[in-house]
Chain A
Amino acid sequence: DQQVKQNSPSLSVQEGRISILNCDYTNSMFDYFLWYKKYPAEGPTFLISISSIKDKNEDGRFTVFLNKSAKHLSLHIVPSQPGDSAVYFCAASGNTGKLIFGQGTTLQVKP
């Protein structure tokens, strides 16, 4: 039973354009959401997060949107750069300290 789903295994965008990565969850008890970025042969690194009391959080080129009624969040990267090419994981937590991760989306940004 996958509580956090990333339905797009891969995404390809042109440099300078917007990248939109999507994530859906099923557990309404989740109250904190995070995005991690992973390069090959490295561990995931924290990118950005959002609490369930907000619907948007922005950090430079990265913005996360949360739609609680739809149990959906998205990560927007504007403008996309070739160095953004990586696997992106969304994760959710329900106040236990434990994170539930999605399967990941591989983003390729073409120069």
Chain B
Amino acid sequence: DAGVIQSPRHEVTEMGQEVTLRCKPISGHDYLFWYRQTMMQGLELLVYFNNKAVMDDSGMPKDRFSAKMPNASFSTLKIQPSEPRDSAVYFCASSAEGQITSYEQYFGPGTRLTVT
């Protein structure tokens, strides 16, 4: 069974450009999370969905970031315009409704974003 799939694995872009990160959660999982890993903050939760609806996006800078989940098997995180401070590793994770009581989340391999 495939795990969480993220693409691209690496992205290098220039400041001001639009960046789109993609995620395919594990089939049957109802929750999808987007995190950003930085040295200073560890793993920061940006946004999460339950059954395709945004539950909490308080960690996401809304002036430049947007997240969508058009169907149960696909989500995007878009940054427009990108800035050097957005350079980080972005992880997508998913979990199943029944597992939410144990809060165990399954992570993808991450997308390393570099904004020059």
Interface residues of A (CB under 8 A from B): 2, 6, 32, 34, 36, 41-46, 49, 89, 91, 93, 96-104
Structural contact, B110 and A49, CB atoms closer than 8 A: no
B43 and A97 contact, CB distance less than 8 A: no
Residues of A within 8 A of B35 (CB): 101
Given A43-B4, A44-B107, residue A97 in contact with residue B42 (CB < 8 A): no
How many Cβ-Cβ contacts under 8 Å join chain A to chain B? 61
Q: Are B40 and A103 in contact (CB under 8 A)?
A: yes
Contacts of B108 in A (CB 8 A): 43
Interface of B is mostly: strand
The answer to whether the Cβ of B104 comes within 8 Å of any Cβ in the partner chain is yes
Asked whether, in the complex, the Cβ of A98 is within 8 Å of the Cβ of B56, the reply is yes
Chain B interface residues toward A at CB < 8 A: 4, 31, 33, 35, 40-45, 48, 50, 55-56, 91, 93, 95, 100, 102-110
Bound-state Cα–Cα, A89 to B107, Å: 13
- Does B42 lie within 8 Å of A101, measured CB to CB? yes
Q: Is the CB of A99 within 8 A of B42?
A: no
A61 to B79 CA separation, bound complex (whole angstroms)? 42
* A101–B41 CA distance with the chains assembled, in angstroms: 9
Q: Pick the 6 closest A-B CB pairs, nearest first.
A: A43-B107, A103-B42, A101-B43, A93-B103, A97-B100, A46-B104
Evaluate contact between B104 and A44: CB separation under 8 angstroms. no
A41-B109, A43-B108, A43-B109 given; A97·B93 CB < 8 A: no
Q: Please tell me if the beta carbons of B103 and A97 are within 8 angstroms of each other in the complex.
A: yes
Which residues from A are CB-within-8-Å of B31? 97
Q: Is the CB of A44 within 8 A of B55?
A: no
